[in-house]
Chain A
Amino acid sequence: MPQRKGEVAINHRYCKRCNICPQFCPTNNLEIVKGKLVAYDRCIACFNCERYCPDMAIEVVKIYNVETPATG
Chain B
Amino acid sequence: MEDTTRFKRFLKEKNLPTPWCPGCGNGIILKSTCDAFDELNLDTDKTVVVSGIGCSGRSAGFFNLDSVHTAHGRAIPMAEGIKIANENLHVVVLSGDGDLLGIGGNHLLHASRRNTPITIICFSNEIYGMTGGQVSPTSKQGAKTITTPDGCKDTPINVQALIKAHNCFYARTTTFHLKHLKKCIVEALRHPGLAFVDVICQCIVNNGRRIGFKDGYDMLMHYKNTYKINENADLLKEGEIGITKVGVVK
Knowing A18-B22, A18-B215 are in contact, say whether A55-B17 is a contact too (CB < 8 A).
yes
B203-215 Cβ-contact flags toward A at 8 Å (1 or 0)? 0000000000001
- With a cutoff of 8 Å between Cβ atoms, the chain A residues found around residue B216 in the complex are 18-20, 54
Q: Main SS of chain B's interface residues? A: loop
- With a cutoff of 8 Å between Cβ atoms, the chain B residues found around residue A59 in the complex are 4-5
State which residues 2-47 of B face A: CB under 8 Å: 4-5, 8, 11, 16-18, 20-28, 31
A50 CB, min distance to chain B CBs, angstroms: 6
What count of chain B residues pass the 8 Å CB interface test?
23
Give the size category of A's interface with B. 20 to 34
Check if B215 sits within 8 Å of A20, measured CB to CB. yes
Residue of A nearest to B32 (CB): A51
The answer, yes or no, to whether A16 is at the interface (CB within 8 Å) is yes
Check if B220 sits within 8 Å of A52, measured CB to CB. yes
The answer, yes or no, to whether A17 is at the interface (CB within 8 Å) is yes
- With a cutoff of 8 Å between Cβ atoms, the chain A residues found around residue B17 in the complex are 13-14, 16, 55, 57
A11 CB, min distance to chain B CBs, angstroms: 9
Check if B28 sits within 8 Å of A52, measured CB to CB. yes
The answer, yes or no, to whether B178 is at the interface (CB within 8 Å) is yes
Check if B22 sits within 8 Å of A63, measured CB to CB. no
Residue of B nearest to A59 (CB): B5
What are 9 A-B pairs at a CB distance below 8 A?
A16-B21, A16-B23, A18-B215, A19-B216, A20-B215, A55-B20, A59-B4, A60-B4, A62-B1
Lowest 3 CB-CB distances: which A-B pairs, in order? A54-B27, A18-B23, A18-B22
